[in-house]
Structure 1
């Protein structure tokens, strides 16, 4: 969950390719499940036999119709709205979060996670990591009823980071940039070249991480005090923030299982999918058929 998007963009480069250049064509593709369900680019979800499928893809930000419609990326505000809509829909029996995201901005992430947690209280929410749910994306996935990874998938990157630029030499235009904040707003633009500035940036990152850990603790049922050591790749609790493949993620209680995408969808639809409605054989439909038959018989007799 980062304020700097460059690493997230690198992780998505293989998926987006040159289609991102100037928005010349839509890089987004429809999400298709093996049961015939299809979520078109720009759609937030689709429902088949009572199971709603919600794509959570791309670099996550609070809200942008452009990101949703052109890139097919989820937004925090879109996730909130979708969760509320599905929670209130009595015809929806379960929800799948089909996830492929490296994370995104801190701002707005917690509200989206809380919306998924509220939805989970009403009906089952199953997250499929296919193939990435890192940082803010994992925070959202952690609020689901269960988390399943596809083979080779990654989860984790639990922590926060930020990158700050500070002018320290003349710019390309030959000018030195100076930034002055008001007398009681030193934390508005912390100077990372000073000890005070670094302390302020560290405070922000640590407070965001504390909220991240609390959400994962609630969602996964892991004691909050256990998380730092559980997430570390060494004996030092400070060495957390890594991403994990299935075995390591399972050992840390971050996920519940591993399946192919096809097997996951088959299982969830078998558990929660409603049976297709059969044509009516009585009542108004039967009376209509009888009327048609009677009319045909009368015509034949004339």
Structure 2
């Protein structure tokens, strides 16, 4: 049985806590998903914007779940997992919605691909300038998921929740001997595209892969620094589990995440929603105003 792990190839920079993602990656690909005939009859697009959120009492709730990808509509359909395109599209819609006074990103994700994440992160930050965006870590916001959470107005963690894993990684492989059938496999690129398929068995290849990872990490750190208002020069040290700033990438439970400036408070899910809906729910009209409104309506009917 093919699993979801088989759909993620090597050399893809991932902002993913692999240990926490293991149960999701081990899920079997749904029956019929790999069948061309079945795929031909499946809808091409993923969920529409209204299917990606709910609104109640002035509060919009956007689930951010699963392994995050740029626009994998199949994952949205099969598992309800979020995509960066879906998050950005939904946030743009809610920014203009009069029904939503505030937005909650309810996050349960070990992270995902780096490709495409910045558009979603920027969309969250942009909406936060218009109305509050609250990230609720319930119970996991790791790596790419934390990248998104860091752009919210506040980050709240439920008891026992985990956040962090700030960094980027990839898996690379190189051929070291002929295959079992005796054939030697060669991978080649055009003359001026050596960086297209870097060879991890060579120093030059590893240097190129490291450059790509460091570039992605720099963007990740810049987003966290701006979103959490942590000076860029201090961030690596805050994330490290030792005195060496290179020892970052760990996850933290709520008390430690708050101490390091990665979250604002811990709160039960019920208390969190009670606090927010107390602010966003429409205020009931006073009896005197309600009576006056009914009287005015009755007079208007009598005159007609």
Q: Per the shorter chain, which TM-score range?
A: 0.7 to 0.9
> How many residues matched?
273
Q: Which residue of 2 aligns with 1:101?
A: 109
- Is there any run of 5+ residues in structure 1 with no aligned partner, and where? 26-41, 291-302
Cα distance change of structure 1 residues 276 and 179 upon mapping to structure 2, 3 Å threshold: farther
1:210 counterpart = 2:230: no
Kept in 1: contact 2:16–2:144 (CA 8 A) = no
1:281 counterpart = 2:294: yes
Distance 1:89 1:7 in 2: 32
Q: Which moved more, 1:79-88 or 1:269-278?
A: 269-278
**1:10-21 pair list within 5 angstroms:** 11-12=20-21, 20-21=27-28
**Of 227, 237, 242, the match for 1:234:** 242
Query: What secondary structure, in the 3-state scheme, does the structure 2 residue paired with 1:239 have?
Result: coil
Q: Which residue of 1 aligns with 2:205?
A: 197
TM, length-normalised to structure 2? 0.82
Distance 2:77 2:135 in 1: 22
**Of 72, 82, 85, the match for 1:64:** 72
Q: Which residue of 2 aligns with 1:219?
A: 227
Kept in 2: contact 1:49–1:276 (CA 8 A) = no
1:174 counterpart = 2:182: yes
Deviation at 1:224, TM superposition (A): 0.5
Distance 2:280 2:89 in 1: 22
Distance 2:226 2:14 in 1: 27
Cα distance change of structure 1 residues 59 and 276 upon mapping to structure 2, 3 Å threshold: farther
Deviation at 1:277, TM superposition (A): 8.2
Distance 2:104 2:199 in 1: 43
TM, length-normalised to structure 1? 0.82
Distance 1:137 1:285 in 2: 54
Distance 1:277 1:249 in 2: 42
Q: Which residue of 2 aligns with 1:77?
A: 85
Kept in 1: contact 2:14–2:168 (CA 8 A) = no
Kept in 2: contact 1:127–1:148 (CA 8 A) = yes
Work out which of the two has the higher radius of gyration on C-alpha atoms and give 1 or 2. 1
Deviation at 1:285, TM superposition (A): 7.8
Kept in 1: contact 2:63–2:82 (CA 8 A) = yes
Deviation at 1:262, TM superposition (A): 1.0
Q: Which residue of 2 aligns with 1:23?
A: 30
Query: What secondary structure, in the 3-state scheme, does the structure 2 residue paired with 1:47 have?
Result: strand
**What is the CA deviation profile of residues 137-162 of structure 1, one whole-angstrom value per residue up to 9, with x for unaligned ones?**
00000000000111111100101101
Deviation at 1:103, TM superposition (A): 0.4
Q: Which moved more, 1:209-218 or 1:274-283?
A: 274-283
Query: What secondary structure, in the 3-state scheme, does the structure 2 residue paired with 1:236 have?
Result: coil
Deviation at 1:175, TM superposition (A): 1.9
